[in-house]
Amino acid sequence: MEKYWQADIETMSREDMKALQSERLVKQVRHVYDNVPYYRDLMDKKGVTPDDIQSVDDLHKLPFLSKADLREAYPTGMLAVPMKDCVRIHSTSGTTGRRVVAFYTQNDVDLWEDCCARAITAAGGTADDVCQVAYGYGLFTGGFGLNGGSHKVGCLTLPMSSGNTERQIQFMRDLGATILCCTPSYAAYIGETLHDMGLTPDDIQLKAGIFGAEPWTEEMRRSIEQSLGIKAYDIYGLTESSGPGVAFECCEQTGMHINEDHFIPEIIDPETGEVLPEGTVGELVFTSITKEAFPLLRYRTRDLCVLSRKKCSCGRTLIKMAKPKGRSDDMMIIRGVNVFPSQIETVLIEQGYSPNYLIEVDRKNNSDTLDISVEMNPEQFSDKVKDLQEKERSLAGAIKTMLGISPKVHLVAPKTITRSEGKAVRVIDKRKLHD
């Protein structure tokens, strides 16, 4: 029997959900218009007033917000309540520019933790579980978000944060952790370390993992499931929209249910901004309809994905989003071709290689070069140069088939590519150095 955290919401009829969304949207637009001058200006420029928004069908009339807007409004330009009403901030890493600081009221934190509790429940979590949170704690949303959700569900929560992998495994064993929450690349690393310590999935109690905060492939999922002996569930979110828990996977593992009572999703054409019909791939846009402190309307996530209202066997009626194909800023244009790291990862795992790889893009003699270093496992090593070169050639061929451009593949020794305890660094684009 499928368990829900908030059954009334998670299985609500489409009509009721639409009514709930409309009611909340109308209120939210008024709240933002009255309290966020930055967005009021955008609405005024577009000639839209709060009165023009009567239901979710009017959503398309509102202006978009982009990451650039948030940077411009840094640090408090998007704040919609007095600072004294806020109880917490989180922040993006700021690796690709100025940081974004998101504010939370106590109510915002509560609703966010409910979203995470839905995810944990959907992964089979109950008050009987021991939930190990190995996402970073701090400005990053991952640690605190899942920690809060785990408390709500009533799990015994292990606030491990990321890093110190052998200690992670020791706690996992000694306290019988049953659910692991971290980035997929860190989960893969924990699996690898477990095996290096001479242990197998039989030595741990883990049954499920909730992994997010970076794009990962189906192949990576299978590989993690095997190495840890668990079912691995995807979770989606971004700091701008509170953190993990915007969408979560159920037992079907065929996409993530979006918490539509808090976030209205749209898919748009990233070029024209036009709203695309359900089932079309495009850029995901979210409107937060319950956030008080940092309510973003029509925020462009830059994640490319597709939505589906197909009936789900878990009984939830919440719309599903497919695993994002990649974030539009992860996309590289190499020799004129769009390339996502996830496409390369898919080929590597299909061909039996480890998900530890490094993509280096450079420009030589006005032509882009694509070099991929891939770890081989000890069984793949051959003492004949021509065998290894043949492996490199055949892998390069498979990647060419996927991408349409030829890479140079370099096999490297096992465990020589740096492991990540948080979000993995998969791409080094040296072309940027020349620009």
Partner 1 sequence: METIKQFSIFVENKQGKMAELTRLIADAGIDLRTLSLADTRDFGILRIIVNKPAETEALLRENGWTFKITSVIGVKVPDCPGGVATVLKALNEANVNVEYMYAFVNRTPGRADTVICVDDEEAAFSILRSKNIDLLTEAEAYDI
CB of 312 to Zn ion, least distance (A): 3
Q: Within a 13 Å sphere around the CA of 312, how many CA atoms are in the beta-carbon half?
A: 26
**Residue 250 binding partner per list Zn ion, partner 1, none, with a CB distance cut-off of 5 to 8 Å that depends on partner kind:** Zn ion
Q: Which is nearer to partner 1, 83 or 413 (CB)?
A: 413
**Residue 364 binding partner per list partner 1, Zn ion, none, with a CB distance cut-off of 5 to 8 Å that depends on partner kind:** none
CB of 255 to Zn ion, least distance (A): 8
CB of 6 to Zn ion, least distance (A): 14
| Identity of residue 255 | G
Q: Is 267 in the site for Zn ion (CB under 5 A)?
A: no
Q: Where are the beta strands (DSSP E) in 306-377?
A: 307-308, 320-321, 326-327, 332-334, 337-339, 357-364, 367-375
Tell me, by CB under 5 A, how many residues bind Zn ion.
5
CB of 383 to partner 1, least distance (A): 3
Binding-residue pattern over the window 221 to 260 for Zn ion, x denoting contact by CB under 5 A: -----------------------------x-x--------
CA end-to-end span of the chain: 57
Residues that bind partner 1 (CB under 8 A): 376, 378, 381-385, 388-389, 410-416
Q: Give the chain's radius of gyration (CA, Å).
A: 22
- Pick the stretch among 72-80, 303-311, 316-324, 370-378 that binds Zn ion (CB under 5 A): 316-324
- Pick the stretch among 131-139, 286-294, 304-312, 347-355 that binds Zn ion (CB under 5 A): 304-312
Q: Which is nearer to partner 1, 199 or 411 (CB)?
A: 411
Cβ partners under 8 Å of residue 84, min gap 6? none
Q: Is 314 in the site for Zn ion (CB under 5 A)?
A: yes
Neighbours of 44 (CB within 10 A): 13
Task: Say how far apart CA 300 and CA 286 lie, in whole Å.
Answer: 7
Using the structure block, give the residue that is written with the tokens 């368990």: 3
- Give the closest residue to 103 by CA, choosing from 125, 116, 121, 85: 85
Q: Where are the beta strands (DSSP E) in 251-406?
A: 256-258, 263-268, 282-288, 299-305, 307-308, 320-321, 326-327, 332-334, 337-339, 357-364, 367-375
Task: Say how far apart CA 44 and CA 58 lie, in whole Å.
Answer: 16
Q: Which is nearer to partner 1, 199 or 331 (CB)?
A: 199
**Residue 173 binding partner per list Zn ion, partner 1, none, with a CB distance cut-off of 5 to 8 Å that depends on partner kind:** none
**Residue 434 binding partner per list Zn ion, partner 1, none, with a CB distance cut-off of 5 to 8 Å that depends on partner kind:** none
Q: Which is nearer to partner 1, 269 or 387 (CB)?
A: 387
Hey, which residues does 275 pair with through a beta bridge?
268
Contact status, residue 348 vs residue 392, Cβ threshold 8 Å: no
CB of 399 to partner 1, least distance (A): 16
Q: Which is nearer to partner 1, 197 or 275 (CB)?
A: 197
Q: Which residues bind Zn ion (CB under 5 A)?
A: 250, 252, 312, 314, 316
